[in-house]
Chain A
Amino acid sequence: MEFVDGRFELREVQKLEGHTDRVWSLAWNPATGVAGIPSVFASCSGDKTVRIWEQSHPSTSWECKAVLEETHTRTVRSCAWSPSGKLLATSSFDATAAIWENVGGDFECVSTLEGHENEVKSISWNASGSFLATCGRDKTVWIWEVLPGNEFECVSVLQGHTQDVKMVKWHPTMDVLFSCSYDNSIKIWADECDGDDWVCVQTLDEPNKYIPWPCSLVLYLQFLLLCFICLVVLFYFNNFHELHVSSNDTTLLGIFASGHSSTVWALSFSSTGDKMVTCSDDLTLKIWGTDLARMQSGDGYAPWRHLSTIAGHHDRTIFSVHWSREGIIASGAADDAIRFFVEDNDTDGLVDGPKYKLLLKEEKAHDMDVNSVQWSPGEKRILASASDDGTVKIWELASLP
């Protein structure tokens, strides 16, 4: 695409101050920024509040329109708008999640979701706005159904992760839930029989879990030869026949799992929904893909496979990643920088999977760790970033002539 040859720069549009503690996360209201409706986004902070920011006109500055306070008693860790843009969900270290509704310019807390034992780290709406998911330090993932009258009912409490779950995100088109954790894995959850029976259908975790190491060299070589033959046979079968992937298990050919080797902090889907990018404390971004057509046709579960690893560009933990509609991957890291990656069409991507290259690196984007980066839903390439330095910055990725 046009990214490969173009030159870009990241222009700081505005620096938004107001929060009195680190800003953890932000979320753009999906129903704004288009068709003349002013752009709106929410930011949440360690100061226990959520701030709503609005840009009344594309050329004017951003202003704080509302401060949602006096509800959460501890840090607000993450926020998410419902697909209709009418409700805002927030999750907090006080072990609750709150639902806010915009009532004539004022945001009112219309519901509270309790159940987690401790800090709720993330919250996410599904594509139709009928489900909410939360996850937390108690290692569980909760699925809630949205009922009329702002009522919420717990559908399922999912255990599976062995450590703090950092983020949950619903797939952009299907009711399949993804979670990533301090236990280095990504889990995929689906409703098996459409009857509230949510289970873990796949786990994407560390590589080399299934390769045993025999002692003697001769045995080892014989073993490798045997493995190679088996792999060839299995690979053949994998490509030309259906393999049953049992639920609650890793990919059948575990040695191809190629997962992260440290905490997975965030994940983001491509606009097509058949790829996702994950970021980790292991300093890499990983691209995963699936056969979406097969999934959507109801032909059984199509497993996600590791496609590519973007390594060598980060030297500190990557806390946030977001894939834009056009295919630009933005990352925010502990080294205060924001980086952009695009698919590299120069190299032959069909052999080992797609390759990605660094488009731009903005060092010192903030004075401290960048906790969240989010592309705006509007037309222009606008990005918002949140940091430990207590500020939110609006950027524009502009192409140079």
Chain B
Amino acid sequence: MEDIFDTSLNLEETHLKEGFDDGYKDGLIAGKEEGRQVGLKLGFEAGEELGFYRGCVDVWKSVIRVDPTRFSDRVQKAIKQMSELIENYPVMNPEDESVQEIMDSLRLKFRGISASMGVKLDYNGYPKSFSGAKEIF
């Protein structure tokens, strides 16, 4: 007797649970897909920037091989440091804490070297530091 009324009494709770489970399952699928998209985007951006630096460093190193006096000691040292940073970037481990640090160092070194050489190099989508509201003082 009680069994028949039990299901009627707990109807709301049962439906709630069913709905939640359905939503959770759907959410898992949608979330995974979105995560994949975000990962792809961020991975691409990081890879693009890293690849850009690698390309620049490779060309500069070739220049040094051809003409060792073309760049000053300081610039050569910076190029070497950049090369090391690129090698040390944990490509396979995005959760590694040093990724932001290495990328920041690379950006600063790159800006310094470009300024010393007197060149302006970048690509579409190169990250500029966020400037915020325009201040005139």
Closest to A195 in B: B77
- Within B79-137, which residues are at the interface with A (CB < 8 Å)? 104, 108-109, 111-116, 118, 120, 128-129, 131, 135-137
Residue A261 lies at the interface, judged by CB distance under 8 Å to chain B: no
Say whether B129 contacts A155, CB under 8 Å: no
Is the pair B74, A153 in contact by a Cβ cutoff of 8 Å? Answer: yes
Bound-state Cα–Cα, A158 to B112, Å:
10
Query: Which residues on the A side are within 8 Å of B120 (C-beta)?
Result: 114
Judging by beta carbons under 8 Å apart, are A196 and B116 in contact? no
Enumerate chain A residues within 8 angstroms of B128, measured Cβ to Cβ.
117
Output the nearest chain B residue to A144 by Cβ-Cβ distance: B115
Q: Does B75 contact A (CB under 8 A)?
A: yes
Q: For chain A residues 60-74, which have a beta carbon within 8 Å of chain B?
A: none
Which B residues are in CB contact (< 8 Å) with A166?
Answer: 137
Of B75, B109, B135, the residue contacting A164 (CB under 8 A) is B135
Task: Name A's interface SS.
Answer: strand
A157 x B131 contact (CB < 8 A): no
The answer for the CA separation of A113 and B112 in the assembled complex, in Å, is 11
Q: Return chain B residues, CB-CB under 8 Å to A138.
A: 129, 131
Contact A139 B129 (CB under 8 A): yes
Q: How many A-B residue pairs have CB under 8 A?
A: 49
| A115, B75: Cα distance in complex, Å | 15
A115, B135: Cβ atoms closer than 8 Å: no
| Given known A117-B129, A153-B74, A154-B115, contact A137–B135 (CB-CB < 8 A) | yes
Whether A153 contacts B131 by the Cβ 8 Å rule is no
Tell me if B72 counts as interface (CB < 8 A to partner A): yes
Closest CB-CB distance, B58 to chain A, in whole Å?
21
Question: Is A118 in the interface zone, CB < 8 Å from B?
Answer: yes
User: In the docked arrangement, what's the CA distance between A187 and B109, Å?
Assistant: 20
Asked if A290 is at the interface (CB within 8 A of a chain B CB), the reply is no
- Which one of B108, B112, B113 has the highest number of Cβ atoms from chain A below 10 Å of its Cβ? B112
Size category of the A interface is 20 to 34
Min CB distance, B36 to chain A, in Å?
32
For residue A55, CB closer than 8 A to chain B, the reply is no
List A contacts of B129 (CB < 8 A): 117, 138-139
Evaluate contact between B112 and A156: CB separation under 8 angstroms: yes
Taking a contact as CB atoms under 8 Å apart, the answer to whether B131 and A137 are in contact is yes
Most chain B beta carbons < 10 A, residue from A117, A137, A139, A164: A137
Q: Scan A30-50; emit 1 where CB is below 8 A from any B CB, else 0.
A: 000000000000000000000
Select from chain A the residue with minimum beta-carbon distance to B105: A159
Residue in chain B with minimal CB distance to A114? B115
- Check A113–B131 contact: CB distance below 8 A: no
Tell me if A159 and B104 are in contact (CB < 8 A): yes
Pairwise interchain contact A157-B74, C-beta atoms closer than 8 A: no
Contacts of B114 in A (CB 8 A): 115
- Quick check: B111 and A115 within 8 Å, CB to CB? yes
Q: Which residues in B have their C-beta under 8 angstroms from that of A117?
A: 128-129, 131
Q: How far is the CB of B70 from chain A (nearest CB, A)?
A: 14
The one of B74, B111, B135 in contact with A155, judged by C-beta atoms closer than 8 angstroms, is: B74
In the complex, 12 of the A-B residue pairs with CB atoms within 8 angstroms, ordered by the A residue number, are A114-B120, A115-B112, A115-B114, A117-B129, A118-B131, A119-B135, A137-B131, A137-B135, A142-B115, A145-B74, A153-B75, A157-B109
Binding site for A on B (CB under 8 A): 72, 74-75, 77, 104, 108-109, 111-116, 118, 120, 128-129, 131, 135-137
New A-B contacts (8) at CB < 8 Å, excluding given A117-B128, A117-B131, A118-B131: A93-B136, A113-B115, A114-B120, A142-B112, A153-B75, A153-B116, A157-B111, A182-B135
